[in-house]
Structure 1
Amino acid sequence: MILLVAGFWRGLHFVVLDHMLCITPAPAIKNIHDSKAMHAQSNILVKRICEILIGTEDHDKVWKILGSGITTAVKYGAYELIEECILTYPGIIWYSVEGLYMFHAAIKERQERVYNLIYQMSDHKVFVATQLDKENENALHMAAKLAPPHRLNVVTGAALQMQRELQWFKEVEKFIEPSYKEALNTEKQTPRMVFTDKHKDLLKEGQEWMKDTASSCTVVAALTVTMAFAAAFTVPGGNQDNGKPLFLDDGVFMLFIVSDAIALFSSTTSVLMFLGILTSRYAEGDFLYALPKRMTIGLVSLFLSLVAAMIAFSATITLVVRDKVTWIAAPVVIATSIPACLFALLQFPLLVELVYSTYGPSVFRKQNDRWMH
């Protein structure tokens, strides 16, 4: 299989680079090829090292070397290395990583892939979940502490970071025994109390991030509401003596009316969502679902209103000057699409991250079928 994969990438490199591009190797494809090749070679190397160590029949040497590798693997999320070590030497699963079992260490380091792998080993999970460290803290206390900076920054924005921390806490809370949810550590704090104490600064930063973003977007949405409402009563071309619009039977005019209505309704929805964010109580639990949902709806509505407003503007220009400048439609459409594209480029990454973290597949999912009992 490894030779087949290597052959595939070598063939792709030859066909795409030499015959289609006829230039020096494309960095993107070359990087993918190198990454895949390095991953395959690493797997072979790990398997070979494990075989050699087991062949020595020296328990202390195997325990020390594999344990050292697992310690680094847990910190950086290299779950494949951990899996191979456990398959080769099952007893290594009880290795202590800086005084913690791997399950606790994965929670502390916020390495979801390592967590998912060990979670599927049901016997190990049930036993370790009841263990306490030297500070009399259980797995839920570990999840209640603030993540390391390099793991906290895997998502952008304090609000999404707070959401991810809540997702970790809720996940560990699912399997912990009910009595452990209210267990006290040496500081006489329950896991929930630890979470509140350790995340108070992040909570404050999340509040400010949400308020600043909502305030800025509310201004834009309110302006769009004003323009769309005014445009509905000052239609292009004016009205006839009976009050009906002059271009009522024109297809372009109908495009103007429909797009203006969409702009008005979408921008109004956006304003309401952002006002809901600004008037929120900003409790810890709100960052898990309520606030990201409102921000998502607000951003989608705002984008839709801007696009509709630009379409209405294009239709208006076309109606007014098409008799004098017949080619005006195409350049106007291109020009008015620029603001919508700029908004999409600036805000779309945030929207994608909001949707994925709130509605996307959970990071706590099945890692490998071979561990399912």
Structure 2
Amino acid sequence: MIGTSEDGFGKAMPKLLDEAQRLGDLICKLFEQETQTNRSPIVSDKSQKKVMPKLLEEAQRLDSNWSPMETMCKAINQAAKKLGDELLSDIENKNEEKGELWTPILIAAKNGIKEMVESILICYPMAIHDVSPEKKNAVLLAVENRHPHVYKVLLKRANNMTDSVFGAVDNNGNSALHIAAMFTDHKPWLTPGAALQMQWEVKWFEYVKKSMRSNFFPVLNNDKESSQQIFTDKHKDLVKKGGKWLNDTATACSVVSTLIATVAFATSTTLPGGNKDTGIPALEMKPAFHLFAISSLVALCSSITSTIMFLAILTSRNQEKDFARYLPGKLLVGLTTLFVSILAVLVSFCSAHFFVLQKDLRMYALPIYVATCLPVTLFAIAQLPLYVDLIWVTFSKVPQPPLEDNA
């Protein structure tokens, strides 16, 4: 669709109206003279004389067998058509200079306004074919600006126009999949950290790819680049940053999990109260001893599992596809088992220490154990945002809208 400019109309309309009035007066006088005499009309009005040279010039190009009236009408028609073309060309040039070829649906798709896109498509379905000066339609703009909610709306509304709308390319021959493979530095996704940003990027690329049938999008753009090549090239820095953050996190956590595994192993082999002559634990009938035995075993197993997960992250290749589920999944399991191992070690300590306090200081046991759980509480509070983001990003199939969409 061609946009409009108030300046273009303001300058062109007076000229159009003036010419239209002159042509109208001329047609009336020609008709009168044609009906009265069968000769070529002679026009003496000053305003008509300004138009006549153009009309006579056009008339000389027409068939000489036509009557004077037919000749002049044909010339008038061509002059009016030429004037209209000049008007549209002038308006279009001014709009291109000012970047005003943006229709409402394009602006709404670019800014992620889902409700406006839906309303426009309900009232005027053909607006889905509007394009920007760079030949980007609403689909390409939604993909470029990372608006999955708008992309879903366009998928529902495309109906039988899927090929023409979702198969469109911009001036550079980039399809929706090529644009999804590109990376923008303003970090649009609603999640912190380079690793989680990379995970969203991979999921967004795969989502756009799987939204259409296989081999639907053009393979190469004008630069002879495939979407996979663009994705690998544009995400090199993000992969490095994400890999570094994962390695630093895994290194720090693996040190903690190794220490807990060491303590848990020593605790599980040192029973409170010792053993009887028969080798049976002396306090095996006590409930606190049962709690100690179970918690020490849980601490040992979970800490070893956590250490293995973090080692798997440290030895990974850090490729783009690994950020989709492999690396974040390992980090999620590692953090979960690390938290469980810390909690289990504290429970094991408290249950073994209960035998020391059960006589004289039994009434002070509960406050002491609550204070002992403070490190676990602080660790949980510190890691909770990261943990929630990991769960959210890992188990979400479609990336969430950018930060500005939720402001």
Structure of higher CA gyration radius: 2
TM-score, normalised to structure 1, is 0.75
**1:226–1:182 Cα change, 3 Å:** farther
Secondary structure of 1:327's aligned partner: helix
Asked if the contact 1:322/1:328 (under 8 Å) is kept, the reply is no
State the alpha-carbon separation in 2 of the partners of residues 236 and 321 from structure 1. 13
State the alpha-carbon separation in 1 of the partners of residues 388 and 163 from structure 2. 36
The answer to whether 1:346 aligns with 2:382 is yes
TM-score, normalised to structure 2, is 0.69
**1:182–1:72 Cα change, 3 Å:** closer
The answer to whether 1:70 aligns with 2:105 is yes
More off after superposition, 190-199 vs 177-186: 177-186
State the alpha-carbon separation in 2 of the partners of residues 163 and 220 from structure 1. 26
**1:303–1:98 Cα change, 3 Å:** farther
State the alpha-carbon separation in 1 of the partners of residues 309 and 221 from structure 2. 41
TM-fit CA distance, 1:333: 2.4
Secondary structure of 2:119's aligned partner: helix
State the alpha-carbon separation in 2 of the partners of residues 220 and 151 from structure 1. 33
Asked if the contact 2:295/2:348 (under 8 Å) is kept, the reply is yes
TM-fit CA distance, 1:208: 0.5
The amino acid of 1:74's aligned partner reads A
Asked if the contact 1:181/1:190 (under 8 Å) is kept, the reply is no
TM-fit CA distance, 1:105: 0.4
The answer to whether 1:285 aligns with 2:321 is yes
Partner of 2:74: none
Asked if the contact 2:175/2:218 (under 8 Å) is kept, the reply is no
Partner of 2:186: 149
The answer to whether 1:86 aligns with 2:121 is yes
The amino acid of 2:150's aligned partner reads V
Partner of 1:305: 341
Partner of 1:131: 168
CA-based RMSD: 2.4
Question: Which of 251, 256, 260 is residue 215 of structure 1 equivalent to?
Answer: 251
TM-fit CA distance, 1:300: 0.9
Q: Which runs of 5+ in 2 are unaligned?
A: 1-91, 93-98, 402-407
TM-fit CA distance, 1:364: 8.3
State the alpha-carbon separation in 1 of the partners of residues 263 and 388 from structure 2. 28
The amino acid of 2:198's aligned partner reads M
1:1-373 alignment, distance < 5 Å: 67-99=102-134, 100-121=136-157, 122-147=159-184, 149-152=186-189, 154-176=190-212, 178-179=214-215, 183-360=219-396, 362-363=398-399
**1:357–1:166 Cα change, 3 Å:** same
Q: Which runs of 5+ in 1 are unaligned?
A: 1-59, 366-373
Asked if the contact 1:147/1:165 (under 8 Å) is kept, the reply is no
State the alpha-carbon separation in 1 of the partners of residues 400 and 385 from structure 2. 23
**1:161–1:98 Cα change, 3 Å:** farther
Asked if the contact 2:105/2:128 (under 8 Å) is kept, the reply is no
State the alpha-carbon separation in 2 of the partners of residues 349 and 311 from structure 1. 25
The amino acid of 1:170's aligned partner reads E
Q: Deviations along 1:210-258, whole A, 9 cap, x unmatched?
A: 1111111101111110000000122223333443333221110110110
Secondary structure of 2:209's aligned partner: helix
TM-fit CA distance, 1:278: 0.8
